Amino acid sequence: MIDHSLLRPELTRPEVLAGLATAREYATASVCVRPADVALAVAGLRGSGVAVGTVVGFPHGGATTATKERETAELVALGAAEIDMVIDVGRLRDGDVAYVEEQVAAVVVAADGRPVKVILENWYLSDEQKVAGCAASERAGAAYVKTSTGFAGGGATAADIALMRRSVSPSMGVKAAGGVRTLDALLTLRDLGATRFGATTTAAMLDDLARRLASRDG
């Protein structure tokens, strides 16, 4: 359920490679890397079963639809298997839901069958806007709605996960990202309906899980 996140702007190539090794060791669902690291991640994770994801319009979402389409197509060509796109947050706050839906739909087409996770950046949104963003994303064919980039003022909250889960159909995923740093936090959000998690503390959380399972079985 974890997308191991390698998105910090200061990461060096050795640090990215170390992150890829962590994802391989712990058999995460995916890594989520910066666009410039997609080729490196594809090569580094070949044969591991760990998918390579990346971001589009990140972190602010203000690029044009054509730019997001081109970015998506390029990253797919490089081997990206999942796309996390940031919506135009200002347009959603304006009430221009049609624009948001059309942009998500364009990225879904450019992703050519690969899952698209739509980052709403909830920190800036009212509950009404979050619900509208969820509905637009589902109508546009996205696979997931996602709480945040991790670069705004706040990340995933229990209230937001519960709201997003109620706002989409059971077939759509909900991704919690930003501030999910402990196993207990992850489990709480899972129980509220999150189905995927963006995390940087992957090893610590899964080591904690292993200790708990060993103690229970012992």
Per-residue pLDDT of the chain (218 residues; tens, 9 = 90+): 999 999 999 999 999 999 999 999 999 999 999 999 999 999 999 999 999 999 999 999 999 999 999 999 999 999 999 999 999 999 999 999 999 999 999 999 999 999 999 999 999 999 999 999 999 999 999 999 999 999 998 889 999 999 999 999 999 999 999 999 999 999 999 999 999 999 999 999 999 999 999 998 87
CA distance 180 to 148: 11
**Which DSSP helix (H) or strand (E) runs through 3?**
strand 2-6
Residue with tokens 């995933």: 156
Instruction: For the chain, list the domains and their CATH numbers.
Output: 2-217 (3.20.20.70)
* Rounded CA separation 216/35 (Å): 41
pTM: 0.96
Give the pLDDT score at 153: 87
CA distances from 199 to 1, 22, 120, 159, 169 (A): 10, 12, 17, 19, 24
Residue type, 79: G
Alpha-carbon distance of 42 to 78, in angstroms, equals 8
Question: What DSSP line would sit under 64-95, residue for residue?
Answer: -HHHHHHHHHHHHHHT--EEEEE--HHHHHHT
> Which residues form the catalytic set?
84, 146, 175
Sign of CA dihedral 190, 194, 196, 200: negative
Angle ∠(157,159,161) on CA atoms, nearest 5: 70
pLDDT of the residue at 64? 98
Helix (H) or strand (E) holding 119: strand 116-119
pLDDT tens digits for 49-71? 999 999 999 999 999 999 999 99
Q: Which CA distances in Å does 55 have to 85, 118, 191?
A: 6, 10, 26
Bridge partners, residue 3, by sequence: 30, 198
Omega cis (within 30) before 59: yes
**How far is 86 from 146, CA to CA, in rounded Å?**
9
What one-letter code names the amino acid at 10?
A: E
Percentage, residues of the chain above pLDDT 70: 100
Q: Which two tokens stand for residue 18?
A: 């170390």
Q: Tell me, what's the pLDDT at 154?
A: 86
The confidence score (pLDDT) of residue 136 equals 98
pLDDT, residue 117, reads 98
- pLDDT for 167 equals 98
Q: Measured between alpha carbons, how far apart are the two ends of the chain, in Å?
A: 25
